[in-house]
Structure 1
């Protein structure tokens, strides 16, 4: 089995490598290719990756290359983990929206749209080159904004599934709180990427006992603190929202916070510098503890599970993925991309049935889906008016004066990445 990781020079990659090494019985990789144009980073990450495999006794071969076509040739699956523009572009995404009093974040609001505009054309070009080289390869998209990028890939006819680590993070946290194994936890996880709620937590599978009320009663303070929301808000909702919902439920508070502290991008950039220094140590043969603060916790385990299911029908029978709606949420178009539990196998992902949702959630899901429609149109076709329409449609913006200002800022800060600008 051959896998390729495009964006393999990312500081995330050792997390992925550690999972591949530990879970080699689930996903027996013979060749792993790390593809990245940044030769200096790739050398450091590739060296550590080989040492991790060697320490854990993994027999697979790790290859590094800047040649995308050669790297993906013959691959059974290709993982996309891109950051077009790097941390410098992220820093801008987190900064200029604040000038209009709007949240600055890399996947939500105006910053999220900027990332989509930079990323979708690049992801589609990579996928098309994968298809020319190996039309049977699965594409696993971990590149944000996952929902929009995955929809672009699916609409272009690629064999693609989107992956996020939010759900597996909740699964692990809830299992620890309940003192059970993660495999015992089945989430009724529903919404869009970075706009999801855990509406039930079942023990043993889709038909198991719903222990969410018990979790909230016994551990509500810890859960609320983790979400950085007041306990009474979580209690009134009666569900567990993704921590990204704080950008919606406490938008103005978040903006005030972001205006008074260093951006997350600056923190991550400093971490990356230190991680790359550590990766260059020839004695290091395991992922360092600092990597846990970088983000992407449990990404490797989710990726192994998904790849194993897509390639060999293995892995967990049900997994939270991003895929076409196909009537699962009846208030959305069939070709909207949703993030839900799905049965995953060699033919792809089939969403499980979702109980009727409260309008409190359906309204916001429908609103953000409309924004994502317009965001994808802007990413595919370009043009100032399309950018403006997407920003005006976003529930965190929604005022024409803000949309005008943010459109000008977005284009000014991203001109080098926008072919039409």
Structure 2
């Protein structure tokens, strides 16, 4: 089996490699190809990946290259984990929205929109190379944010693709600890869009195979579990009780926007913290004595990334037919959204298709917010595919965290100025071209 990682120079990659080494029986890799344009990243990340495989006694080989065609040729599956513009672009995404009194975040709001504009065209170029050079039935697994928009771009272009996020697996692990069961004994009623999701049921399987929804226990007034869960998502326990669902921590950007903005204005950005962590990680990767995943990697984010990636890859390549939470075409799952929109729900995974499972109707407040964000996402993808000031402005205006024309105009100018070097058409658009 040949597996390729586009963006393989990411400091995330040893998290993947650690999982590949530990779970080799589940995903037997013969060749792991790491593709990255940065020669120093290739040397450092590629070097530690090779040492990790050797230390674990993994029989597979690790190849490092900047040649995308060589990397994807005859691949069984290709993972995308790109960051166009690097952490410097992320730092901008997390700061320039503040000038218009909006949160700065790399996947949500104006900053997430900027990331989509930079990312979609590049991802589609790489996907075309996968289609041309990888095995005919190869799948693309996208971990590149914003996952929902990027995955829809891939699917609309006819690629065999699925989007992957670690929010659901993180909740699964958290609930497993809370109720003292193995993670595989927990099944979630996870619904929404990428980074806009709720857990509406937490089903725990007992030793005799029966399942029970323990969410009502968590919502009980005297449950310390509710306070712990509320603290973990940084939102009030009363909100969770009111919705009868546990929101992803990304919902805080919507439910407590002004509080988050005030915090951001007085704290260092996440990008700055990640850059510090990455410097420490790269120094560790340079040490040839390092042959296992460094502890500092836990500070990088992406908890359980390798487990989620291995689950979906082994399900696809092994044609297992099991169920996982993924980003897939709606196809009637949410009747209020178009079939081609990408949603994040439990889906059945086979080699030939990944199909969303039916879900219970969403509550009206969830329908309203999901519909609003989905409308923005559709306009954002149009802007990413075709460029132009007016497309950017319309998508910006449509985002529920913006919603005002004057604010949208200001944010559009800020976005285009910050990304002039990363969007070929941005300079002309900022100058007034339409």
TM-score in same-fold range (> 0.5):
yes
- Aligned partner (choices 355, 358, 361) of residue 360 of structure 2: 355
Alpha-carbon RMSD: 1.2
Instruction: Compute the TM-score of the two structures, normalised by the length of structure 1.
Output: 0.98
Q: 3-state DSSP class of the match of 2:419? A: helix
Which of 263, 273, 276 is the matching residue for 1:270? 276
Write the distance in 1 (CA, Å) between the matches of 2:421 and 2:132: 27
Q: For residue 417 of structure 2, what is the aligned residue in structure 1?
A: 412
Q: Which residue of 2 aligns with 1:250?
A: 256
Q: Matched residues in 2 for 1:326 and 1:207: separation?
A: 30
Shift of residue 208, structure 1, vs aligned partner: 2.8
Q: What are the ranges of 5 or more consecutive residues in structure 1 without an aligned counterpart?
A: none
- Tell me the TM-score normalised to structure 2 length: 0.95
**Structure 2 runs not aligned, ≥5 long:** 427-434
Whole-Å Cα distance in 2 between the matches of residues 38 and 105 of structure 1?
Answer: 25
Pick which of 399-408 and 410-419 moved more: 410-419
Residue 256 of structure 1 and its aligned partner are, at CA, apart by: 0.3
The farther-off stretch of 206-215 and 319-328 is 206-215
Cross-structure match for 2:166? 165
Distance in 2 (alpha carbons) for counterparts of 1:207 and 1:337: 32
Corresponding residue of 1:202? 203
In structure 2, distance between residues paired with 1:258 and 1:392? 22
Q: 1:53-93: CA deviations, max 9, x gaps?
A: 12222110100001000011010000000000000000000
Shift of 1:204: 3.0
Distance 1:207 1:415 in 2: 56
Aligned twin of 2:214: 211
Corresponding residue number in structure 1 for 2:190: 189
CA–CA distance in 2 between the matches of 1:275 and 1:128?
Answer: 32
Cα distance in 1 for partners of 2:353, 2:58 equals: 28
Aligned equivalent of 2:429: none
Shift of 1:136: 2.5
SS in 2 for 1:28: coil
1:385 aligns with 390
Q: Aligned with 1:4: secondary structure?
A: strand
3-state SS of paired residue (1:306): helix
Residues 216 and 223, structure 1, Cα contact 8 Å, conserved in 2: no
CA contact (8 A) 1:194 1:244 kept: yes
CA shift, 1:236, in A, is 1.6
- Between the aligned partners of 1:236 and 1:243, the Cα distance in structure 2 is 16
Q: How does 1:61-210 map to 2 (within 5 A)?
A: 61-134=61-134, 135-204=136-205, 208-210=211-213
Q: Matched residues in 1 for 2:210 and 2:305: separation?
A: 26
How many angstroms does 1:349 deviate by? Answer: 1.1
The structure 1 residue matched to 2:329, chosen from 324, 330, 333, is 324
Kindly tell me the number of residue pairs found equivalent between the two proteins.
Answer: 420
CA 1:207/1:111 → structure 2, altered by over 3 Å: closer, same or farther? farther
Q: Deviations over 1:169-218 (max 9, x none)?
A: 00001001111000000001000000000010112399832111113333
Distance 1:238 1:97 in 2: 32
